[in-house]
Chain A
């Protein structure tokens, strides 16, 4: 019942409540009024019957004293004029009636003993009333008169009340329904429409909807207006937010495009510079070579020394240009990833390095079976840079040791190159991968300062990451992963 009531709409609830409340009030009023009426009706009947009993008793004194039952019965039968009286009896001693009157077809009167010290008594059972009255003659108790009456009027009265109550109840229900309808129009329907609109707004996130205005000037109207204002506010903010976002996106795109253009220009410029530098450098190198081949004997010792220095500088410059070209290629060339045997690549590079410095003693450890999915040319550049660095910085270590390994870490494979060379200060680790940043003096270890920057760019292009551990004088380890770019 309660659950069913909860599911109903506000309008139905209001109407139902109206009907329930008014019915309950009416019923209560009727019941109490009816009860009061019943009691007073009965009391009146009891009073009148008691009076009759007294009269009958007084008139029966001589009949009782002189044992004249017929006369007593005649006196009792006078009660027949009252329609409600069903039976009457006079008792001179308990148990047997001295005289009695029974209306046609009525059963013998069942009497109750009179309470002591009481002249009158009555017993009520529904519409049945039994009245007892003591007969006293000259100060002496001579008997008791009992009258049993059935109050026909009571039933008629009850019926009349029930009919009146029913009619008024029906009328009031009608009025309650009518009032309920008025309520529905005035109160419930605006709320229902409010709820509907709110549901639409929250479901479709459509803040352009508006609540229908109500005619009445009350809290509902305030509520509706407040809602509408809120919606307008939300809509305005939404619009502003969207505009700001659009503007921002546009600006970002613009900036990105500018940045990309600038980058491209820069790369093209550096490529062009590097490429164009190569031509004159090749000529210088050629002239130097010719000079070295044909005119060496003609040169003095000082000339030979100068020629050597020229050669060294040209080689350095050539390396620098190569590195620059690699760096610019690292970001511009297309990626053609294949499955590569990193162990094999590392071994061949290390072999090459060992041949260039055959007098160096180095312990080389390359883990077998390290495969990687990456661009072959770029990965070559990466390993060359890393291994050349390791080779270079272990120049003063005896014995030098270089390891190339791979290990699983979660779903990723971490590759690393470890050496026991000069190492670096961990605090400066973030400067390692920036171009032209060098952690060692040129006099200690020569280099261009571009290699690790190139490596970092290539790894980044593959979606991977690179980082390094190191300690001054104890060696360095370069780790890298290629992220999840593998198939």
Chain B
């Protein structure tokens, strides 16, 4: 993670110092690192869950014949980092007038009813295959796996200054018939690899 990385870099810069100082610095680094990582993990997934649900409000799906009668479904493929948090978050909420439900997928092929699919860390190896399968349907793919966008994912979570940000890849979204709101693009860190400030109107 980026936040943890920067703390590690800070600690490494101190290692070149004399021995006594080295030990003190190491102790401090351990303390800081431990607490920072624990907190970062907790807050990151918490925030990501909220984002996952909020993305639904800024993305327009092509008209579904089943329409508003079916619930809006957020699916998790692979490892689920959110646990009950996501369920708690979406309970009693609606997106475009549809109640929200969550679903765990065993494979990408069973994503028929999903509007949003989050790919867990365990999907790293099958990423290309999964995305090929998912791109057949109008599905917003989201993950924090590195290189997710290069494989054809739509939104990838990033970390900047201990803050959860995200990058957007418009091409696969357009190909699968999704329209991303300009409001969403405005707050994205990168859009199609460029900092989002450049694509702002």
Q: Which residues of A contact B (CB under 8 A)?
A: 59, 61-63, 65-68, 71, 137-138
Contact = CB atoms under 8 A, between A and B. Distances in A.
A67 B57 contact: no
Most buried by B among A61, A63, A66, A71: A66
Interface residues of B, number: 14
B186 A63 contact: yes
A61 B47 contact: no
B187 A63 contact: yes
A61 B183 contact: yes
A224 B91 CA distance: 103
Contacts of B164: 67
25 contacts: A61-B183, A62-B58, A62-B181, A62-B183, A62-B184, A62-B186, A62-B187, A63-B186, A65-B54, A65-B57, A65-B187, A66-B51, A66-B54, A66-B165, A66-B166, A66-B184, A66-B187, A67-B163, A67-B164, A68-B165, A68-B186, A71-B186, A71-B187, A137-B57, A138-B57
Interface in B7-56: 47, 51, 54
Nearest to A75: B186
A171 to B, nearest CB: 56
User: Could you tell me the dominant secondary structure of chain B's interface residues?
Assistant: helix
Contacts, number: 29
Most buried by B among A59, A62, A71, A137: A62
A424 to B, nearest CB: 146
A138 B47 CA distance: 20
Interface in B144-182: 163-166, 181
Contacts of A66: 51, 54, 165-166, 184, 187
Nearest to B189: A68
Ranked nearest first, the 7 interchain pairs of A and B with the lowest CB-CB distance are A62-B183, A68-B187, A66-B187, A62-B187, A65-B54, A71-B187, A63-B187
Contacts of A65: 54, 57, 187
Contacts of A68: 165, 186-187
Interface in B56-71: 57-58
Given A67-B163, A68-B186, A71-B186, 7 more contacts: A59-B183, A62-B183, A65-B54, A66-B165, A66-B166, A66-B187, A68-B165
Nearest to A72: B187
A355 B187 CA distance: 168
Contacts of B186: 62-63, 68, 71
Nearest to B163: A67
A83 to B, nearest CB: 25
B123 to A, nearest CB: 24
Most buried by A among B57, B165, B181: B57
A68 B184 CA distance: 10
Nearest to A138: B57
Contacts of A67: 47, 163-164
Contacts of A63: 186-187
Nearest to B55: A66
Nearest to A64: B187
Nearest to B181: A62
A61 B186 CA distance: 11
Contacts of B57: 65, 137-138
Interface in B98-150: none
A50 to B, nearest CB: 22
Contacts of B51: 66
Contacts of A62: 58, 181, 183-184, 186-187
A384 to B, nearest CB: 155
Contacts of A61: 183
Contacts of B183: 59, 61-62
A59 B163 CA distance: 21
Contacts of B166: 66
A71 B166 CA distance: 14
